[in-house]
């Protein structure tokens, strides 16, 4: 029997921590680890991707949708470097991810050898814990601490190990006298996550005294649906949702006012502006300009992380604890309110808002509007679907027009707002939940960054649907250049890609939709296909994600900077973008008439 190596100890430790899947790419800097994975493939699965950035994003998606530790593996030098974007996504969205990388030979580090990148130092800012393994006797201590730190603090961690140490046998390792074998425990301790009684009493008093209470719920509220709705009923409070909290409550709830901020609804923004009391549950929604002005509302905040209490808005009571348990404790102390006028005003606003969204989502004119695609998609999703939005205008269309219900889950790159996360997130979600519907709504800009991993869908027979909103441009950047700043658009037009042919070349089914009259039929066929399918939805390239500013843009006191009032989607008409738009439109229509259709793909 072969001697146990350092790499064997690494993988065995991961298995003890409940890790069953690792996303990554092989490389000569991790050959020892790959061999340990090969000999344990019945216990832990290695999912090969085509780019290390996709592996990191897939681990983030897996961790977001399961709550478990996401793990990714890459070789030394450039392999590890490619991880960084996904690892920063995990850092900013507070997701437990462990990155494992290789290093060059331990006695050649820092001597300008090949791929001589000290990855432990490179990852230090992105990770709560980043270190290099110094020998076989060091492995278990380091890996268990990396797993524990990631799960305890919901942050990424990183371990890097030189290639020669990976293959060193444990029985010949020199162990210091203080490093007693097996002195660590592969056990995760869970805290009570309940706030201080005095803070609970103070918070309940503030909520009882408020006459217009608004609840802002984020990702930390995702497991607290029943408690959140019961408290909203007792307080007569509307609930607005930060983007990462989408799905915390059903969108058809009488308390739901939809999203907040730039991608949010008018009733949510009015509720934030007019409330006299704000309850923030599991959110540090970063756009401070959308909160009530400081001093306009009394505030209570619930968060499991004490560092985030009062981060965006001054609070009078900070409740550090699990959202569901803390809300349950508040329910015992909060008195029912008889005045429902604030809630009823929000409900009336939501009736008008839903009418507006239906009007926008059922447009029949050509070119097809992007809202039509996500509006039709929402109606066809199963009650336990997993929905992913990439970053860009697709985030806006998905946030506004996909209505959450049942056990549906949603996520995106919330705080980092990175493009290209959509496809890898879907890979992670489908690996975790192979029997659930997984749909990623992506833009042509984001998908083209990592579209080589379309073949990963085929390799593992993942039942993932990729919906590409194709406008041949970087739509959100164009809108910012033209409508926000007032400059002509520049550098945002994308050379068209035939995603149908790309998908078919990767072995996936492909469908093109460009007629709103047949949009629902095309989506229905795609969702019914057993296996990976890419839908290319060709949309109006001039449809902005929201109306232009209602007030002139004002230069701030800082040179080269602009300030503006917070804005949201409303019922003002959407105007065409930029000077020369008519000429652009004529070129666009000529290009559409000349568009070639290839292969056996269905067209709608």
d(Cα 154, Cα 220) in Å, to the nearest integer? 11
| Model confidence at 184: pLDDT above 90 | no
Is there a domain that residue 354 lies in?
A: no
Confidence band, pLDDT 50/70/90 cuts, at residue 1: low
| Model confidence at 354: pLDDT above 60 | yes
User: CA 409, 415, 417: angle at the middle one, nearest 5?
Assistant: 85
Is there a domain that residue 184 lies in?
A: no
Which one has a higher pLDDT value, 379 or 548? Answer: 379
Are residues 109 and 210 both part of a single domain?
A: no
Are residues 160 and 266 both part of a single domain?
A: no
Is there a domain that residue 437 lies in?
A: yes
pTM: 0.91
The pLDDT, as a whole number, for residue 241 is 98
Confidence band, pLDDT 50/70/90 cuts, at residue 190: confident
| Model confidence at 524: pLDDT above 80 | yes
Are residues 290 and 404 both part of a single domain?
A: no
For residue 448, the number of C-alpha atoms closer than 13 Å in the C-beta half-sphere is 16
Q: Write out pLDDT tens, residues 95-117.
A: 999 999 999 999 888 899 999 99
| Model confidence at 177: pLDDT above 80 | no
Is there a domain that residue 179 lies in?
A: no
CATH number at 83 reads: 3.40.50.970
Confidence band, pLDDT 50/70/90 cuts, at residue 172: low
pLDDT mean over 171-178: 75
Q: Write out pLDDT tens, residues 303-327.
A: 999 999 999 999 999 999 999 999 9
Is there a domain that residue 284 lies in?
A: yes
Are residues 248 and 369 both part of a single domain?
A: no
Query: From start to end of 544-600, where are the E strands?
Result: 554-555, 562-563
Distances (CA, A) of 599 to 146, 391, 593, 602: 49, 30, 18, 9
Lowest mean pLDDT among 104-118, 125-139, 186-200: 186-200
Task: Strand 438-443: give its sheet, edge to edge.
Answer: 409-412, 386-389, 438-443, 464-470, 533-538, 509-513, 602-603
Lowest mean pLDDT among 58-72, 172-186, 486-500: 172-186
Residue after which a domain boundary falls, among 172, 207, 240: 172
pLDDT mean over 217-234: 98
Residue after which a domain boundary falls, among 349, 382, 399: 349
| Model confidence at 235: pLDDT above 70 | yes
pLDDT mean over 232-257: 98
Are residues 485 and 390 both part of a single domain?
A: yes
d(Cα 402, Cα 407) in Å, to the nearest integer? 14
Pick the closest to residue 322 from 203, 190, 187 (CA basis). Answer: 190
The pLDDT, as a whole number, for residue 563 is 38
Task: Strand 45-48: give its sheet, edge to edge.
Answer: 45-48, 21-24, 70-74, 97-103, 157-162, 129-132
Are residues 143 and 208 both part of a single domain?
A: no
Are residues 580 and 480 both part of a single domain?
A: yes
d(Cα 83, Cα 476) in Å, to the nearest integer? 25
Phi-psi region of 357 (alpha: psi -120 to 50; beta: other; left: phi over 0): alpha
Lowest mean pLDDT among 120-124, 386-390, 586-590: 586-590
Largest CA distance in the chain: 78
pLDDT mean over 74-100: 98
CATH number at 220 reads: 3.40.50.1220
Element holding 298 (H helix, E strand): strand 298-303
Is there a domain that residue 472 lies in?
A: yes
| Model confidence at 595: pLDDT above 50 | no
Cα-Cα-Cα-Cα dihedral of 63, 450, 418, 154, to 10°?
20
Are residues 278 and 418 both part of a single domain?
A: no
Strands 554-555 and 562-563, bridge-based pairing: antiparallel
Are residues 217 and 96 both part of a single domain?
A: no
Number of domains in the chain: 3
Which one has a higher pLDDT value, 183 or 477? Answer: 477
d(Cα 202, Cα 369) in Å, to the nearest integer? 49
pLDDT mean over 151-172: 94
Are residues 377 and 331 both part of a single domain?
A: no
Q: Write out pLDDT tens, residues 376-423.
A: 999 999 999 999 999 999 999 999 999 999 999 999 999 999 999 999
Is there a domain that residue 187 lies in?
A: no
| Model confidence at 21: pLDDT above 50 | yes
Are residues 205 and 328 both part of a single domain?
A: yes
How many residues are given for the chain?
604
| Model confidence at 512: pLDDT above 80 | yes
Are residues 31 and 87 both part of a single domain?
A: yes
The pLDDT, as a whole number, for residue 594 is 44
The pLDDT, as a whole number, for residue 181 is 80
Which one has a higher pLDDT value, 183 or 300? Answer: 300
Is there a domain that residue 188 lies in?
A: no
Which one has a higher pLDDT value, 255 or 175? Answer: 255
Its domain, for residue 265, covers: 197-349
The pLDDT, as a whole number, for residue 533 is 98
Residue after which a domain boundary falls, among 298, 318, 349: 349
Percentage of residues in the chain having pLDDT higher than 70: 90
């Amino acid at each position: 029997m072969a001697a146990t190596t350092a790499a064997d100890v690494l993988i065995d430790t991961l298995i003890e921590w409940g890790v069953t899947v690792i996303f990554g790419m092989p490389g000569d800097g991790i050959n020892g680890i790959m061999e340990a994975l090969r000999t344990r493939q019945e216990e832990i699965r290695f999912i090969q991707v085509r780019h290390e950035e996709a592996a990191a994003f897939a681990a983030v998606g897996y961790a977001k949708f399961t709550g478990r530790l996401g793990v990714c593996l890459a070789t030394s030098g450039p392999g590890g470097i490619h991880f960084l974007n996904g690892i920063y996504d995990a850092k900013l969205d507070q997701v437990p991810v462990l990155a494992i990388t290789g290093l060059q030979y331990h006695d050649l580090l820092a001597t300008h050898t090949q791929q001589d990148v000290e990855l432990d130092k490179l990852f230090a800012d992105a990770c709560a814990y980043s270190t290099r393994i110094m020998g076989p006797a060091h492995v278990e201590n380091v890996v268990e601490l990396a797993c524990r730190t990631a799960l305890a603090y919901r942050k990424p961690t990183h371990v890097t190990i030189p290639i020669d140490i990976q293959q060193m046998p444990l029985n010949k390792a020199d162990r210091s006298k203080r490093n007693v074998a097996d002195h660590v425990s592969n056990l995760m301790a869970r805290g009570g996550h309940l706030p201080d009684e005095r803070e609970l009493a103070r918070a309940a008093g503030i909520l009882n005294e408020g006459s217009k209470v608004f609840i802002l719920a984020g990702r930390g509220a995702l497991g607290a649906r029943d408690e959140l709705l019961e408290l909203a009923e007792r307080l007569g409070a509307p609930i607005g949702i930060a983007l990462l909290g989408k799905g915390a409550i059903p969108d058809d709830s009488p308390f739901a006012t939809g999203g907040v901020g730039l991608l949010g609804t008018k009733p949510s923004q009015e509720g934030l502006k007019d409330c006299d009391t704000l309850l923030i549950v599991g959110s540090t929604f970063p756009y401070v300009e959308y909160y009530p002005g400081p001093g306009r509302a009394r505030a209570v905040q619930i968060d499991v992380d004490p560092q985030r209490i009062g981060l965006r808005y001054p609070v009078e009571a900070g409740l550090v604890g699990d959202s569901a348990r803390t809300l349950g404790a508040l329910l015992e102390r909060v008195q029912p309110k008889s005045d429902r006028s604030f809630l009823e005003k929000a409900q009336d606003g939501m009736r008008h808002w839903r009418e507006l969204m239906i009007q926008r989502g059922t447009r029949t004119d050509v070119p097809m509007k992007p809202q039509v695609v996500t509006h039709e998609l929402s109606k066809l999703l199963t009650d336990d679907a997993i929905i992913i939005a990439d970053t860009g205008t697709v985030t806006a269309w998905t946030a506004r027009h996909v209505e959450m219900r049942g056990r549906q889950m949603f996520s995106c790159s919330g705080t980092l707002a990175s493009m290209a996360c959509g496809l890898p997130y879907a890979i992670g979600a489908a690996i975790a939940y192979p029997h659930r519907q997984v749909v990623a709504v992506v833009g042509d800009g984001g998908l083209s960054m990592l579209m080589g991993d379309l073949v990963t869908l085929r390799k593992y027979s993942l039942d993932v649907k990729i919906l590409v909103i194709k406008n041949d441009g970087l739509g959100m950047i164009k809108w910012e250049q033209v409508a926000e700043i007032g400059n002509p658009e520049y550098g945002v037009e994308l050379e068209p890609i035939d995603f149908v042919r790309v998908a078919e070349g990767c072995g996936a089914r492909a469908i093109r939709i460009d007629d709103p009259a047949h949009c629902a039929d095309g989506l229905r066929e795609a969702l019914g296909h057993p296996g990976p399918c890419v839908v290319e939805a060709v949309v109006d390239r001039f449809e902005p994600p929201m109306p232009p500013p209602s007030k002139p843009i004002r230069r701030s006191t800082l040179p080269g900077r602009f300030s503006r009032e917070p804005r949201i989607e409303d019922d003002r008409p959407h105007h065409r973008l930029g000077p020369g738009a008519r000429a652009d439109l004529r070129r666009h229509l000529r290009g559409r008439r000349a568009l070639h259709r290839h292969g056996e793909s269905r067209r709608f």
